[in-house]
Amino acid sequence: MTTEQTFTLRPLGPFSLLEAGAFGRAAEPAGDWPGGGTLDPADGTLRLAFCRDDLGGQVGVALRADEGGVHGTVSGLDPGDPVDPVRAQVARILSLDGDGAAFLEVGERDPLIGRIQAAAPGLRPVLFASPYEAAAWSVITQRWGRGQALRARERVSRELGRVLEVAGVEVPALPTPAQLLAAERIPGMPELKQERLRAVARAAQGGLLDATAIHEGDPAEVRARLRTVSGLGEFAASLIHLRASGVQDALVDGEPRLAALVGAGYGLGRPADAAELARIAEAWRPFRTWSAVLVRAAGRRLPELAAAPDPAPRVARPRTPVRPRPEPLALIS
């Protein structure tokens, strides 16, 4: 028997649940949201289903916002299970563990950031539910388009994970590491991806994908440790670090679209190189990650950035022995 519990998050500074629900979807297929969530435009409810940080099970959370804050109704907890860890995890997912008022100060120092903040009021980074889920997604998406990967994640979640009722709607959540490792076969996955998903599950059980350790660790050391997991390369390590741990001030580099938008926004006449991006991002401290996400997710709402050319997409070579990197834009939006 499970129970429903509730909590309230009171954002510091501006926050928009509608922006969170629409995050990353402007140019992507429906449902491609970092946390696998769905926003109901009729009543403004954001529904999530995910593995708890303790990896012991899954929960569903229905979120609604009003002047009193962001209110969550949690389903899937056993009687006596505390709701506070779920509350903290949701705060991290929606970047409500950060100070949005302090983030506005970056816009006061940097006019471009300030204009994008005004064009996207209350937008904050939306993260994967956990480093474990980001790592699993990295493996699932390898060599597959987003649509195929989303369907595969849905199947694995329904057959091996847990389907939760969230505000009257069934929402599947990924299997826990224990559920993945107990399965004789992971449905819909080729053998190599099955092996890599099991490697991710073992790494999670061993503590390598702990959100706090990744958040607080030295970025270079954290990413090096993540790359020791079979199937997690440089791109995946960056994805997990930037989009699942809640870091707010890590420098985002190696992002072609971000470089193109920064080059257009700061009058460079071409994409910013690594040194230029690092120099420009100094004004974004202590929110360099948040600022990069803002530019990438909402920069095209400004006329001068709307016309910035997109970098050419990477083309995978089917027979190459080297695993191709997924489209790098997914790192931050």
With 50 as the cut, is the pLDDT of residue 305 above it? yes
When mean pLDDT is compared across 37-41, 53-57, 273-277, 327-331, the lowest value belongs to: 327-331
Residue found by looking up tokens 């950060």 in the block: 98
At 69 the pLDDT is 98
Q: Kind and range of the H or E element at 234?
A: helix 234-244
- Give the pLDDT confidence of 204-243 residue by residue, as tens digits: 999 999 999 999 999 999 999 999 999 999 999 999 999 9
Rg (CA), the chain: 19
When mean pLDDT is compared across 154-158, 187-191, 250-254, the lowest value belongs to: 250-254
Which residue did the predictor score with more confidence, 315 or 115?
A: 115
Rounded mean pLDDT of the chain? 90
Is there a contact between 115 and 99 (Cβ–Cβ < 8 Å)? Answer: no
Provide long-range contacts, Cβ within 8 A and 24+ apart, for 316-319.
316/143
Q: What is the rounded distance in angstroms from the CA atom of residue 104 to the CA atom of residue 114?
A: 7
**List of residues 6+ apart from 250 with CB closer than 8 A:** 219, 241, 242, 288, 289
| Average pLDDT of the segment spanning 241-257 | 94
Residue found by looking up tokens 């080729």 in the block: 190
Q: What is the rounded distance in angstroms from the CA atom of residue 29 to the CA atom of residue 129?
A: 19
When mean pLDDT is compared across 11-15, 29-33, 82-86, 143-147, the lowest value belongs to: 29-33
Which residue did the predictor score with more confidence, 29 or 73?
A: 73
At 220 the pLDDT is 95
With 60 as the cut, is the pLDDT of residue 49 above it? yes
| Average pLDDT of the segment spanning 243-260 | 94
Exposure on the CB side of residue 89, measured as CA atoms within 13 A: 27
At 311 the pLDDT is 74
Is there a contact between 161 and 197 (Cβ–Cβ < 8 Å)? Answer: no
- Give the pLDDT confidence of 236-247 residue by residue, as tens digits: 999 999 999 999
At 241 the pLDDT is 97
Residue found by looking up tokens 């435009």 in the block: 41
With 50 as the cut, is the pLDDT of residue 102 above it? yes
For CA atoms 256, 260, 265, 267, the dihedral sign is positive
pTM confidence score: 0.91
With 90 as the cut, is the pLDDT of residue 272 above it? yes
Across the strands, what pairs with 65? 70
At 271 the pLDDT is 95
SS3 33: coil
Q: What are phi and psi of 175, to 5 degrees?
A: -65, 150
DSSP state letters, 168-185? TEEEEEPPPHHHHHH-SS
Residue range 3-97+128-214+240-245 in CATH 3.40.50.300: no
When mean pLDDT is compared across 59-73, 174-188, 303-317, the lowest value belongs to: 303-317
When mean pLDDT is compared across 32-36, 125-129, 193-197, 273-277, the lowest value belongs to: 32-36
